[in-house]
């Protein structure tokens, strides 16, 4: 199957899952998770109509930006971000989805202030409480969110989660529902620099259940590009692969 055909199939599935859940398909954005795929593959996905591209590694982001691979689509950062690489991401992507710790918030604030911009982010939530994963714990949010006013160069657009990988995709429904409730709860309150309208959850194996549970953005890699080549693994991707 070509990338264009895969994107078309996923869009049909998005529409079906949305309609079955009484939702408008337009309310769900498709983010192509482009890690380990080259500029040409990224261009094909954009031409096929994905809504944005999500990159995991700073090195790949920088290389593909130099190749103008993302022309025509917003770029998001979706991988674990080291504070010493924040300079190469802030201001270059429209959304950093994987903000998983206070130290990173502080580093993004410093860099965004230096550039004189406001950086949109999502807070990554460790919804499965897994030691191997980053992300804020649900109980940290009541103290974190009121503090967002102290980060004038950051705007929180919503939440992101990578639930535990499990064989039966509906097993993650519990986590997806928890995320949705959390997001509804936060948007009902008023916090400075916070407006929760994005709920990023669902990947190749479980995006339809994520949509049924209220996801507004799915991040899909394998179902668009095919299986990734892990002959030269990267620590983070090794984790992802082993969990599958
Ligand atoms: C790779 C990746 C995805 C996509 O995973 P697939 O299973 O290939 O669809 C989504 N989100 C993040 C953060 C990823 O790293």
CA distance 215 to 201: 6
* 56 close to ligand 1 (CB < 6 Angstrom): yes
Q: How many other C-beta atoms are found inside a 10 Å radius of the C-beta of residue 106?
A: 15
Amino acid 235: pLDDT: 47
- Is residue 119 within 8 Å of residue 154, measured between CB atoms? yes
* 36 close to ligand 1 (CB < 6 Angstrom): no
Residue 187 Cα to ligand 1 midpoint, Å, equals 26
Residue 135 Cα to ligand 1 midpoint, Å, equals 16
CA distance 71 to 40: 11
pLDDT at residue 232 tops 70: no
- Structural domain contains residue 32: yes
- Structural domain contains residue 175: yes
pLDDT digits (tens, 9 = 90+) for 154-179: 999 999 999 987 666 667 899 999 99
- Structural domain contains residue 106: yes
Residue 93 Cα to ligand 1 midpoint, Å, equals 17
Amino acid 129: pLDDT: 94
What's the CATH code of the domain at 107? Answer: 3.20.20.10
* 202 close to ligand 1 (CB < 6 Angstrom): no
Looking at ligand 1, which atom is closest to the CA of residue 78?
13
- Structural domain contains residue 155: yes
With bands split at pLDDT 50, 70 and 90, how would you rate the model's confidence at 240? Answer: very low
Residue 203 Cα to ligand 1 midpoint, Å, equals 6
**Sequence-ordered list of residues with C-beta below 8 angstroms from that of 202, at least 6 positions apart, any chain:** 176, 208, 209, 210, 211, 215, 218, 219, 220
- Structural domain contains residue 235: no
Whole-structure pTM value: 0.93
Which DSSP string corresponds to 136-167? B-GGGHHHHGGGGGG-TTEEEEEEEE-PPP-S
- Structural domain contains residue 217: yes
With bands split at pLDDT 50, 70 and 90, how would you rate the model's confidence at 233? Answer: low
Stretch 2-14: mean pLDDT = 98
- Structural domain contains residue 244: no
Amino acid 168: pLDDT: 63
Residue with the smallest CA separation from ligand 1 atom 5 is: 221
- Residue from 9, 29, 161, 240 to probe ligand 1 pocket by mutation (most atoms less than 8 Å from CB): 240
pLDDT at residue 116 tops 80: yes
Domains: count for the chain: 1
Amino acid 238: pLDDT: 44
- Structural domain contains residue 240: no
CA distance 111 to 131: 29
Residue 120 Cα to ligand 1 midpoint, Å, equals 20
pLDDT digits (tens, 9 = 90+) for 13-53: 999 999 999 999 999 999 999 999 999 999 999 999 999 99
Q: In which domain, by residue range, is 71 found?
A: 3-225
Amino acid 242: pLDDT: 36
Show the DSSP H helices in the chain as ranges.
3-20, 39-47, 58-66, 102-115, 141-144, 173-187, 207-212, 222-225, 235-243
């Amino acid at each position: 199957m070509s990338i264009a055909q895969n994107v078309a199939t996923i869009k049909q599935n998005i529409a079906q899952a949305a309609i079955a859940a009484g939702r408008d398909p337009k309310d769900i954005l498709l983010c192509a998770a482009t890690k380990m795929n080259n500029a040409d593959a990224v261009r094909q996905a954009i031409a096929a109509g994905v809504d944005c591209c999500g990159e995991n590694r700073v090195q790949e982001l920088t290389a593909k930006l130099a190749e103008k691979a993302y022309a025509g689509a917003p770029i998001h950062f979706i991988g674990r971000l080291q504070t010493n690489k924040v300079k190469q991401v802030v201001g270059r992507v429209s959304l950093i989805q994987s903000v998983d710790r206070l130290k990173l918030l502080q580093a993004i604030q410093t860099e965004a202030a230096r550039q004189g911009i406001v950086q949109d982010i999502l807070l990554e939530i460790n919804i499965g409480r897994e030691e191997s994963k980053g992300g804020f714990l649900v109980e940290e949010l009541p103290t974190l969110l009121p503090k967002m006013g102290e980060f004038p160069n950051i705007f929180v657009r919503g939440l992101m989660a990578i639930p535990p990988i499990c064989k039966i995709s509906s097993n993650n429904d519990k986590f997806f529902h928890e995320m949705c409730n959390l997001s509804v709860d936060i948007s009902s309150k008023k916090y400075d620099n916070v407006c929760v309208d994005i709920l990023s959850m669902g990947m190749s194996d479980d995006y339809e259940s994520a949509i049924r549970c209220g996801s507004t953005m799915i991040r899909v890699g394998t179902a668009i590009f095919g299986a990734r080549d892990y002959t030269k693994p990267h620590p983070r991707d090794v984790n992802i692969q082993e969990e599958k």
